[in-house]
Amino acid sequence: MDLAYYVTQNQELIDDIKSRTPGHDDVDMYYGTLDYATARFHTILIKVSQDRILEQIHSKDILECFDTIQNFYKNVQRYRFWPRFTRFVTRRIIHRIGTKRIPSIKRLLNRLENNNKFYHQGDDTV
């Protein structure tokens, strides 16, 4: 997929994060996680857009990160708007995504940053 597709699909999520008013600590925590994950994901997209080879290498990881953010957002919306008796199950799903899948976004960003430093390390000596 094109990298612009990921950005346009995340636009609704970003608008929702911007318009969010604080008040519920648990929901605010979820939106904070979404904000960090989306910011890291967009940083990944910027780094990958500068090098087509990296884009091809990490295309599967990028799609996985995008799906993770979208699933987390979908379940946060369910937590907010579905009936109260479903909150326990939804909270467990959100927790599982947050502990198992969200850290992969940070790992991918770290991998790209370390790869980039290693790749350009020899440029300083020339």
Structure tokens at 62: 């990028």
Predicted structure pTM score = 0.84
Write the pLDDT tens digit of every residue in 99-118: 999 999 999 999 988 876 55
Residue pair 10/39 in contact (Cβ under 8 Å)? The answer is no
Token representation of residue 56? 């091809």
What is the per-residue pLDDT for 126? Answer: 38
Rounded CA separation 22/28 (Å): 6
Q: What is the pLDDT of residues 33-79, one digit of tens each?
A: 999 999 999 999 999 999 888 888 899 999 999 999 999 999 999 99
Kindly list the distances between the CA atom of residue 84 and the CA atoms of 23, 33, 80, 94, in Å, as whole numbers in the listed order. Answer: 17, 22, 9, 15
pLDDT at 125: 44
Buried b (16+ CB within 10 A) or exposed e, 78-117: ebeeeeeeeeeebeebbeebbeebbeebeebbeebeeeee
